[in-house]
Amino acid sequence: MTEEHPFAPYVRILARGKTKTRSLTGDEAEAAMSMILAGEVRPEQLGAFLMLLRLKEETAEEIAGFVKAVRATFKVPTGAPQVDLDWSSYAGKRRQLPWFLLSALVLAQNGTKVFMHGTEGHTTGRVYLRDTLTALGLPVADSFSEAAAHLEAKGFAYLPLESLSQTLRELIDLKSILGLRSPVHTVARLLNPFGAQNVLQGIFHRGFMETHQVAAKILGFDSVAVFRGEGGEIERRPNKETEVCTLHDGELGQEWWPQILDQSFQAADEDMNIDLLARVWRGEEENEYGVAAVIGTLAIALRLMDASLSQDKATEQAQALWQERDQTKIN
């Protein structure tokens, strides 16, 4: 008789039928992901595992377990600067430019150390952050050490997912083969590689807000804000009221941020010209939607980092920081 593969029990837990199937415990999820990262899983097992999770939808406990396994593989250099804000970018933009990048750069100019991580290419027809940074002449790190150096020098760094975990990048790329996203998209957003005190999370499907929020609590994160951003990125939609799920000092919360612009600003940007970001930054061109998205996103970030700020005060601060930005340089 052929001996059962060590990973088979994790597939079986998820596939025993309507009455016996259950979710993985946090420990089981961590152990399963550790095997995946170590290359100890057969391709057919991996595909079945990911799609069974996708079918039932991953729990916060499972996501936290997966994240713990990935974080255990990180080798953050000794003496790396303390990151103030972790900002993930895994969706890409299709209807609007990534205005959120300007929000992050404003923060970096004002002493906040912002670490961004993400990936690209998994969905056609989208503008991704790495391509945007390259087009604007901004650096992209290729290692933890280089990211730490960028943070020290500029207060801002971007590290692609493959530099964090090549295996996770390969799992995300399976979307074109399996036809569906997998839980890895959620896992990657919650990696917080440098252990930032504050974590921003952008999601596309509202049903995942609580999953992100509760997983962050399980992981012991200090302050977290999760909201349904434009295109699934961490970018406030100025023409919509924005629900934000929060975590502060272990307490889960919820708040609503008001609509900034009227509904007529819903039209997609047909050009998606990245250079527009630089022109707006330098004050060479006006863009009401873009500036509203920048300031609105910046306000949420400021309130995340200082819960004593009211929404109005955070918005006033965001407006002031935008007006006072150094327009001569975008990095």
Phi and psi dihedrals of 43, rounded to 5? -55, -40
Please tell me whether residue 257 adopts helix, strand or coil conformation: strand
Question: Per-residue pLDDT averaged across 119-146, rounded?
Answer: 90
Angle between helices 43-56 and 26-37 (to 10 degrees): 150
Q: What is the pLDDT of residues 62-91, one digit of tens each?
A: 999 999 999 999 999 999 999 999 999 999
pLDDT above 90: residue 41: yes
Q: Residue 201's closest CA among 300, 69, 313, 329? A: 300
Angle between helices 60-71 and 209-218 (to 10 degrees): 50
Please tell me whether residue 114 adopts helix, strand or coil conformation: strand
The contacts found for 74-80 with CB under 8 angstroms, 24 or more apart, are 74/144, 74/164, 74/193, 75/144, 76/144, 76/148, 76/193, 76/194, 76/195, 77/144, 77/145, 77/148, 79/148, 80/144, 80/148, 80/151, 80/194
Count the neighbouring beta carbons within 10 Å of the beta carbon of residue 154: 17
- Look up residue 2 and give its DSSP letter: P
pLDDT above 80: residue 264: no
pTM of the shown model = 0.95
Sign of the dihedral defined by the CA atoms of residues 85, 89, 95, 99, in that order: positive
SS3 string, 263-306, reads HHHHCCCCCCCCHHHHHHHCCCCCCHHHHHHHHHHHHHHHHHHC
- Strand 242-248, strand 251-257: pairing: antiparallel
Share of the chain above pLDDT 90, in %: 88
**Measured distance between the N- and C-terminal CA atoms of the chain, rounded to whole angstroms:** 62
pLDDT above 90: residue 269: no
How many residues does the structure list for the chain?
Answer: 331
Would you state the structure tokens that stand for residue 91, as one six-digit string? Answer: 């969706």
Q: What is the pLDDT of residues 86-95, one digit of tens each?
A: 999 999 999 9
- Look up residue 207 and give its DSSP letter: G
Domains identified in the chain and CATH numbers = 8-56 (no CATH), 85-323 (3.40.1030.10)
Q: What is the pLDDT of residues 279-306, one digit of tens each?
A: 999 999 999 999 999 999 999 999 999 9
Residue found under tokens 């009227």: 262
